[in-house]
Structure 1
Amino acid sequence: MRSMFPLPDDPWPHDMVITIEDDAHPLLELLWIREAWGLQIEGGDLPPLLVDTPTSVGQTERAAAPIAEWEVAWPDLWHSCLAHVSKTPHPGTIERLQTSELDDEGRDRLLAELFGSSWRDWFGSDALTEASQEWQYAMFRQRSDRAVRPVEEGPERLALDALVPAWRAGLTKIVEIPCRGTFTRILGPHSILVTAETRADPDRYREALILVT
């Protein structure tokens, strides 16, 4: 959201741009896999469970899968994907990808810079069943339903008194995950992670944004 010039009586700074990253597929895939496949993940600073619990895969499929290997790799992959999602791609990356002079190695390097790591890169797509696609589509419908509400009722507008100081302190991206409870993390100088429940609650959202300042 941005306007060319200040608007009378509008408390939203005309040059403030905030990116809401609430559909990061690498993160959504990891969260779904953790619960649908019943992974028992060990390690600190891991996100809480999903608000909408996915249906578990069958015992036959789970018995045939390398569950132990997945459980060991999950935390590292989560932190890798989260670190990438929190960043803003360099504006020239896409243009460089279209350069015909690129060799395969250079193209792969730029693709990695643009998209980062994913579950598919590490383990392929076998774990991402049709149920995963259905769950992600349900998440998409929920986000679409929320998007039609009036601008004045949006989370950022309702917490604007805390958002503006956070933006002035350097915040430009808010990463949302569809998880339970409160799980707020500063991801770097320009990004913050919150749960969907936190962003939907103006008081909790303000508390999260204040951490940036």
Structure 2
Amino acid sequence: MQSEYPIPGNPWPREMLITVEDRPTTLLELLWIRETYALHPPGDDLPPMLELTPARAAVQLDAATRNEWENTWARIWQGAAAHACREHDPALFEQLQGTPPGSTEREALLRQLFGPDWGDEMGRGAFDDASYTAWEQTMSDAHMSTRLERLEDSPEWRAVSALTTAWRGGLTRIVTIPCRGEHTRRLTPHGLLLTAATRTDLAAYERALAPS
């Protein structure tokens, strides 16, 4: 997100470039898994529950599998959330093109590009449940219904003063998750994770952008 042309009285600094990721696929998959399989991962700094609750999975987990999934979920979430908040080096894509399929070097580059992922460690079987297809479609429809046509209508424009201060402090990337209430975490020097509800509420967004 960047102001592309001069507007008289425009408060948005021309050089300020902010990336807003409001559909972080890996994080959405993890949030869905946690709720549809009724996981209770360990940790006291986890995101709130989803705003749109998915249906429970048709297949119930046995105790051993549940314990494994809960511990794996907590570990992957921490790594995936931090990765989503990082600036990504475009040169990695060029390097990837020159590595042979299946090579150790290619695998390392893919990890740098895409970060930790549930499917890489646990397989994609969890997503075969019908609940995932239904929830993903509902989320897609909800996302499309809230799309804005103009920069001036965006939460960033409305909070431009606080955003500019945060940008001057190093912020360049904002990642939102569709969870309830306020939840804000500065996971990298340049990236901020927060709920969509926080971003759309001006006062809450300004609190999230304020220096810690």
Q: If the length of structure 2 is used for normalisation, what is the TM-score? A: 0.92
* 5+ residue gaps, structure 2: none
Residues 34-90 of structure 1: per-residue CA shift (max 9 Å, x gap)? 0000112221211110111111112xx114582121012111110010111111211
Give the partner amino acid of 1:95: E
Q: Which residue does 1:78 correspond to in 2? A: 77
- Written as runs of structure 1 = structure 2, the 5 A alignment for 1:121-136 is 121-128=120-127, 129-136=129-136
Specify whether residues 41 and 189 from structure 1 end up closer, same or farther in structure 2 by C-alpha distance, changes over 3 A only.
Answer: same
Aligned-partner Cα distance in 1 for 2:90–2:153: 31
Q: Is the 8 A contact 1:186 1:192 kept in 2?
A: yes
Query: 1:109 & 1:121 partners in 2: Cα distance?
Result: 13
Any gaps of 5 or more consecutive residues in structure 1? none
1:107-186 correspondence to structure 2 within 5 Å = 107-128=106-127, 129-186=129-186
Q: Distance in 2 between matches of 1:101 and 1:125?
A: 24
Is the contact made by 1:4 and 1:15 (CA closer than 8 Å) also made in structure 2?
Answer: no
Note if 1:62 corresponds to 2:69.
no
Aligned length: 210
Indicate conservation of the 8 Å contact 1:7/1:14, yes or no.
no
Q: Kindly indicate whether the alpha-carbon contact (under 8 Å) linking 2:171 and 2:189 is maintained by their aligned counterparts in 1.
A: yes
Residue 26 of structure 2 corresponds to which residue in structure 1? 26
Contact 2:178-2:196 within 8 A present in 1 as well: yes
Aligned residue for 1:147, secondary structure, equals: coil
Moved over 4 A (4+): 3-6, 100-103
- Compute the TM-score of the two structures, normalised by the length of structure 1: 0.91
Residues 175, 193 of structure 2: 8 Å contact kept: yes
Q: Percent same amino acid among aligned pairs?
A: 41
Given that residues 27 and 81 in structure 1 are in contact (C-alpha distance below 8 angstroms), is that contact kept between their aligned partners in structure 2? yes
Judge conservation of contact 2:99–2:106 (CA < 8 Å) in 1: no
Q: Which amino acid letter does the alignment assign opposite residue 121 of structure 2?
A: W
Shift of 1:103: 7.0
Per-residue CA distance 1:87-141 (angstroms, 9 max, x = gap): 1211100111111568711111111111111100111011112321331232222
